[in-house]
């Protein structure tokens, strides 16, 4: 039995609401994250304190992925989005109170980290729940454009969030930034209540895959998504290992200022938006695969080039290309997943992908930090770039048959609930 959807004629309206809600919430999260990092610095927590904040925020997305995905595939989307927004908003408000009333001391530190972790549990559910709504809100041929719209708005939030955090903390306090985050969840709560589109999951016996790890099984068995996601995870690991030491390349090797570092980071974020907008033109599965593979090849080449950058403008251009490629990659891969994964397993598959990326992000950060004190910064960029190029070459070789339209036109669901591509096997009559 397939899932039951309520798709109204106002699908474009709902996509705009989803994009607005995700953008506001994402901006609020970035305000909170940056404010908490600034708080850790001001309180003298040092590198271990900042790492503890990052781990507390990321751990729920990793260890909670199987459970969160199962929840998304079992419960009504309206109940999930409303409950998650209320949950996260209350956590943000409690964080603001703790920071305002007891900003220091061991108990306050423990309380802050605990609340960050609990709020992350809500994020582990809300992210897949909102993303899984997109195919329910628009026809299949408009999913790519809808994902591009949502991704573009979140890219804007990436630019605005950190800047707003700096203004709020510098002008008022860290607690004020957390109250803004809480207010963003209040706005998200209203938007969730206004959505007409609903995803009501039904029984999943027909897909042939059960259990909390069904999403990982789907990705492993899918001949298209399997190699692409594997390559993406390794690429994320290498990219985050160099982002940790980027400041040393800008300030040390290229003798830039703090403003230069901020402008280069902004270039990456702005061109992430450009890439997201450009990906709206991709309207076929073959085109999305080419976009993903092209981005996978471009990103490590740019990282490698950054290791040889001779000036700050040259580095800015390279990082802008990294941002644009990431924008295309995000939209193309998310669209491909939403269209290829069986409806009853979308929540679990999206949660597994988010959890896997979070593991790679944290691992890359953990590796890049110590390496920065042992190896020259340019060497880290070159090594990460070469690793990425090798991975991209392997993925392109594995997926070479998918680069033709003929290899991506036959698509069906087998009795095991996974998608078949480029095969001549008949569809399961059941």
Q: Does residue 367 register a pLDDT over 60?
A: yes
Average pLDDT over residues 178-204: 87
pLDDT tens readout for residues 195-221:
988 887 765 544 556 666 787 888 888
Average pLDDT over residues 306-325: 93
Residues 227 and 189 in one domain: no
Please indicate, yes or no, if residue 204 is contained in any of the structural domains: no
Domain of residue 73 covers: 8-198
CA 135 to CA 146: how far, in whole Å? Answer: 9
Cβ neighbours of residue 395 closer than 8 Å, sequence gap 6 or more: 227, 228, 230, 231, 293, 296
Residues 222 and 104 in one domain: no
pLDDT for 180 equals 93
Torsion angles phi and psi, residue 203, rounded to 5: -55, 145
pLDDT for 354 equals 87
**Residue appearing with tokens 């703090």:** 258
Least confident range from 88-92, 138-142, 261-265, 294-298: namely 261-265
Residues 221 and 194 in one domain: no
Q: How confident is the model at residue 259 (pLDDT cuts 50, 70, 90)?
A: confident
pLDDT for 304 equals 94
Residues 262 and 176 in one domain: no
Q: How confident is the model at residue 193 (pLDDT cuts 50, 70, 90)?
A: very high
CA 331 to CA 238: how far, in whole Å? Answer: 20
**Domains: count for the chain:** 2
Please indicate, yes or no, if residue 348 is contained in any of the structural domains: yes
Residues 349 and 410 in one domain: yes
CA 263 to CA 316: how far, in whole Å? Answer: 8
Last residue of a domain, one of 198, 230, 245: 198
User: Which one, of 243, 54, 242, 269, lies nearest residue 156 by Cα?
Assistant: 269
Residues 266 and 151 in one domain: no
Residues 33 and 155 in one domain: yes
CA 267 to CA 270: how far, in whole Å? Answer: 5
Residues 140 and 239 in one domain: no
Question: What is the per-residue burial (b if ≥16 Cβ within 10 Å, else e) of 108-145?
Answer: ebebbbebbbbbbbbbbbbbbbbbbbbbbbbeeebbbb
Residues 237 and 289 in one domain: yes
* Structure-model confidence comparison of residues 143 and 400, the more confident one: 143
Structure letter (DSSP) for residue 250:
I
Please indicate, yes or no, if residue 271 is contained in any of the structural domains: yes
| 408 CB neighbour count, 10 Å cutoff | 21
Please indicate, yes or no, if residue 87 is contained in any of the structural domains: yes
Residues 191 and 264 in one domain: no
Please indicate, yes or no, if residue 427 is contained in any of the structural domains: no
Q: What is the CATH number of the domain that holds 390?
A: 1.20.1250.20
Residues 194 and 217 in one domain: no
Please indicate, yes or no, if residue 1 is contained in any of the structural domains: no
């Amino acid at each position: 039995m397939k899932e039951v959807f309520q798709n109204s004629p106002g699908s474009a309206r709902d996509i705009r609401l989803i994009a607005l809600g995700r953008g506001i919430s994402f901006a609020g999260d970035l305000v909170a994250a940056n404010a908490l990092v600034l708080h850790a610095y001001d309180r003298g927590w040092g590198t271990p304190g900042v790492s503890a904040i990052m781990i507390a925020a990321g751990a729920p997305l990793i260890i909670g992925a199987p459970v969160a995905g199962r929840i998304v595939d079992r419960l009504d989307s309206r109940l999930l989005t409303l409950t998650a927004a209320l949950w996260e908003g209350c956590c943000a408000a409690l964080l603001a109170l703790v920071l305002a009333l007891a900003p220091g001391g061991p108990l306050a530190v423990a309380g802050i980290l605990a609340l960050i972790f609990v709020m992350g549990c809500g994020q582990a559910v809300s992210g897949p729940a909102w993303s899984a709504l997109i195919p329910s809100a628009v026809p299949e041929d408009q999913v790519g454009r809808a994902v591009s719209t949502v991704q573009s708005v979140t890219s804007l939030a990436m630019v605005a969030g950190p800047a707003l955090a700096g203004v709020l903390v510098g002008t008022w306090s860290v607690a004020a930034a957390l109250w803004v985050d809480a207010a963003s969840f209040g706005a998200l709560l209203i938007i969730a209540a206004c959505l007409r589109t609903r995803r009501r999951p039904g029984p999943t016996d027909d897909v042939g895959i059960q259990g909390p790890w069904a999403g990982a099984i789907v990705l492993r068995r899918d001949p298209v998504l399997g190699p692409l996601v594997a390559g993406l995870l390794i690429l994320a690991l290498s990219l985050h290992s160099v982002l940790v030491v980027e400041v040393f390349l800008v300030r040390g090797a290229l003798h830039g200022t703090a403003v230069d570092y901020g402008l280069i980071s902004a270039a990456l974020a702005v061109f992430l938006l450009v890439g997201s907008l450009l990906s709206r033109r991709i309207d076929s599965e073959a085109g999305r695969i080419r976009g993903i593979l092209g981005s996978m090849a471009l990103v490590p080449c740019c990282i490698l080039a950054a290791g040889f950058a001779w000036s700050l403008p040259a580095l800015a251009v390279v990082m802008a290309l990294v941002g644009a490629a990431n924008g295309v990659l995000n939209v193309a891969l998310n669209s491909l997943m939403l269209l290829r994964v069986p409806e009853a397993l979308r929540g679990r598959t999206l949660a597994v992908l988010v959890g896997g990326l979070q593991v790679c992000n944290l691992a890359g950060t953990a590796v890049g930090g110590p390496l920065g004190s042992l190896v020259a910064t340019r060497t880290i960029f070159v090594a990460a770039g070469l690793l990425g190029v090798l991975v991209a070459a392997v993925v392109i070789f594995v997926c070479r048959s998918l680069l033709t339209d003929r290899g991506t036109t036959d698509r069906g669901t087998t009795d095991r609930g996974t998608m078949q591509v480029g095969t001549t096997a008949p569809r399961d009559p059941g």
